[in-house]
Every structure is written in structure tokens, then in C-alpha cells.
Chains A and B, each alone.
Chain A
């Protein structure tokens, strides 16, 4: 039986954002890394920082923040971004 993955950010206060137009730069005070994020990735990080959530829930949050539809394109974009985030230790999977 497929179990939904839940994503969470440990200590959300560690991220600091600066934005210029469409661009967003996020500084991670835990790792000391700086990340350049496109608008979708930026909204995703903001959304997951808000509260732990499944990928589907995150798609809803990001879609409503961007004012777009929660289609399969957005789903696969977020899925791949979450994989990147996990490798960068920005987010982690937790048991449901």
C-alpha cells in the first residue's frame, strides 16, 4: 500500500529571503548555504516552511499562492524540486 510522503522543514526560522522581481535568494542559517530560487521553488519553500505537508497539499498551496491551476505539470515540477531540496537538506521526509 502506497504511503504518502510528508515533507517538513526543521526549524523554519533558519531561512532568510531576499527578492528582486521574479528572483528569490534564500539563505539557510543552519547550513550556511545560499540558494537562488525560481518563483515556483521559492513558493514551495515558503509553503513547506509554513507546515509539514504531503506533495499533494504542497501543490495546492503553491498553486493558490501563484494563482495558477494545480495541474500535473506543477505536481511533477514540485516533486523534482522537493528531491533537490532533500539533497540540499532544506527539507526532510517524515513518516506519516
Chain B
């Protein structure tokens, strides 16, 4: 059963009641909220997502609610809680949906240490995954949104999950986060993309989320072996260009962008070194999405 099969009324009722048990990649989240923008956002962006088969275990119990303080009357707020624990300050009620997305990212990145977790987008073609680690502002999400609208499969736009036993990337397809100008850029690049209502004045500026391709959601259990580590960098007017990056430098940069590299200790070092060893590593600068798509389609997987 999928979220779309519930209908808006039943979806809202579950969120308000005992919770919606939503499956995203390897995780089940139990979500509770009486905030309408959260319910609408989930209804639109998670329409293709499966519900958990059973409602007796959830990896993350999360809630979005309005704190019951005097402020609720003149500055209404939304608060995210992880099973009663509140990891972030409340935000204006209008930002409840992005807060939900950020909260779920936090749940995964602070708990799922069965994986090496890298702050990176992951996309796949012909069984080969490209890991796109990048600090905010590098245009990683925009590039990822463009590529998944041109034949690449979305594994994740924020969180690369590398499995510890075999180094494969485990998909966690979720709505793609777009900020500021990239929202308009992606609307122009792919008019059929489904993007939810823009929320202004958040800590990241104006944000919106793009619904992932249906195919990426339905293939969320197909893992892929990393073949490329590519550090994207958007530069206005730049021609698309791939430059080889040295493996040692790539390892250090990925470690800097990992959530739990240091927690994993020696095992994390070997996992990361194995991944870097098996991948071609590049710096990629681009100024135009069509050119970027072309450059990516020319990528050849490394010789085994």
C-alpha cells in the first residue's frame, strides 16, 4: 500500500492519530503531526512511497507539533521531536514541512551507524553509482535534481549510505531539497517536475522540495556499487569540465563530508579507502545543466 492509496483525509487522520508508518529506503518512520502543511507535503511528495507492512516497529518515532505556549497565538511555531526529545529549536509554523525533512535527515545521520554516512548525493546508471559529496552551496542538489530528470536513478540527494559489509550504496530516495535560484532553474529545466510550495526566510533562504521520480522510489531496494566520486562545483558561465582528483585528496575531502567517519574508527578508514580505491575521482565544474548532463552521460565506469 502506498501513501497515495490512503487519500488526503485518511493520511491526515493517521498523522493526527497513532501515526503514519512510512517506509523510505531501509527505514520505517512513524510520523505524527496535526500541522496541515506537513500532511499536504507528505501527500504530494511521498505519494509513491510504500507504507510499512506492519505497524509494530519503527526506526524513528518523530512528531511535528505546535508548542503549547502563549506564542502560538501571535507567532505560531512548529517543533520537531524525536520520540519526545527535541533536537532543534522551534521554527515558524510556516517552515514546518522543511523542518520535517531536516528532522528526518537528522534522525538518519545521527543514528544509522550501520552505514558509513557521507553528506552527498548519490545517483546510479547501469548499476554504477556516482557519489557527489559537497558542502552546501556547491550546487550538488541542483545537479542531482537535473540528472535524475535525465535518466539517472536517485539514491539520495543528501545522505550516501555505504553498507559496511560490501561497500555498496544503499538507496534512501527522498524529496530533493532545492534552494533559492535552483528552484526556478529546475522548474525551467524540467517543467514536468513536481515541486512543492516554496517556503521563504528559512535559515537556508527560500526552500522547496522536488518529488523524486517514481522509478527511483519503486527501486529503493536496489543497491549499487560506487564507481565515481565527483565533487561538483557550480560556477556561473563555466564550461562543464571533469578533472581527475588524486585519491588521497579525495579520501580526505570525503572524510570531511562524512557524518560518522570518525565514529567508525579503523573500520571507517578501511571502508572509505576501499571505496576511493575502486572509484574514479573527479572535480567537476559546470555552469550549465544541459552541458553537465552531457558530461555525466559520457562517464565510463572504472575498469574492474
A pairs with B: yes
A residues sitting closer than 8 Å to B (CB atoms) are: 16, 18, 20-21, 23-25, 27, 29, 32, 34, 36
Contacts A32-B262, A34-B252; is A16 near B247 (CB within 8 Å)? no
With both chains docked as a complex, state the minimum distance between the C-beta of B213 and any C-beta of chain A, in angstroms: 36
Number of A-B pairs, beta carbon distance below 8 Å: 35
| Least Cβ–Cβ distance between B3 and chain A, in angstroms | 41
Inter-chain contacts of A25 with B (CB < 8 A) = 248, 251-252, 273
CA gap between A23 and B262 in the complex, in Å: 21
Counting CB contacts under 8 A, is B277 at the interface? yes
In the complex, what residue of chain B is closest to A34 when comparing beta carbons?
B255
Task: Please give me the 3 A-B residue pairs with the lowest Cβ-Cβ distance, nearest first.
Answer: A23-B248, A20-B247, A27-B269
B203 within 8 A of A: no
- Residues of A within 8 Å of B265, CB to CB, are 29, 32
Query: A34 to B256, alpha carbons, bound, how many Å?
Result: 10
Dominant secondary structure of chain A at its interface with chain B? strand
Q: Which residue of A lies closest to B246 (CB)?
A: A23
| In-complex Cβ contact of A24 among B248, B266, B270 (8 A) | B248
Q: Is B249 an interface residue (CB 8 A)?
A: yes
Residues in chain B within 8 A of chain A (CB atoms): 246-249, 251-252, 255, 262, 265-266, 269-270, 273, 277
Q: Chain B's nearest CB lies how many Å from the CB of A79? A: 24
Separation in Å of the A40 CB from the closest CB of chain B?
14
Q: Which residue of B lies closest to A31 (CB)?
A: B262
B262–A36 touching, CB < 8 Å: no
Please, how many angstroms separate the alpha-carbon atoms of A27 and B265 in the complex?
9
Q: How far is the CB of A23 from chain B (nearest CB, A)?
A: 3
A18 to B274 alpha-carbon distance, docked (Å): 9
Q: Are A36 and B249 interface neighbours, CB within 8 A?
A: yes
Of A20, A29, A32, which contacts B277 at CB under 8 A? A20
Q: Does the CB pair B246–A29 fall under 8 Å?
A: no
Complex CA distance for A30 and B232, rounded to whole angstroms: 33
**Alpha-carbon distance A85/B235, docked complex (angstroms):** 37
* Smallest Cβ-Cβ distance to B264: which chain A residue: A32
- How far apart sit A29 and B262, CA to CA, in the bound complex (Å)? 10
Give 8 new A-B contacts, CB below 8 A, not counting A16-B266, A21-B246, A32-B262.
Answer: A18-B251, A18-B269, A24-B248, A25-B248, A25-B273, A36-B248, A36-B249, A36-B252
Query: Are the CB atoms of A27 and B266 closer together than 8 Å?
Result: yes
Partner of A23, one of B247, B255, B269, B270: B247
B266 close to A29 (CB less than 8 A): yes
Given the interface pairs A20-B277, A25-B252, the reply to whether A34 lies near B247 with Cβ below 8 Å is no
- Complex-state Cα separation, A34 to B255, whole angstroms: 9
From B251, which residue of chain A is reached at the shortest CB distance? A25
A27 proximity list for chain B (CB < 8 A): 266, 269
Whole-angstrom CA separation of A20 from B266 in the bound complex: 18
The answer to whether B262 touches A20 (Cβ under 8 A) is: no
Minimal Cβ-Cβ distance residue in A for B255: A34
CA distance A21 to B277 in the complex (A): 12
- Give the docked Cα–Cα distance between A27 and B267 (Å): 11
Q: Which residues of A contact B252 (CB under 8 A)?
A: 25, 34, 36
Cβ of B277: which chain A residues have Cβ within 8 Å of it?
18, 20
CB distance from A27 to the nearest CB of B (A): 4
Q: Can you name 17 A-B residue pairings with CB atoms under 8 Å?
A: A16-B269, A20-B246, A20-B248, A20-B277, A23-B247, A24-B248, A25-B248, A25-B251, A25-B273, A27-B266, A27-B269, A29-B266, A32-B262, A34-B251, A34-B252, A36-B249, A36-B251
Contacting residues, chain B, for A18 (C-beta < 8 A) = 251, 269, 273, 277
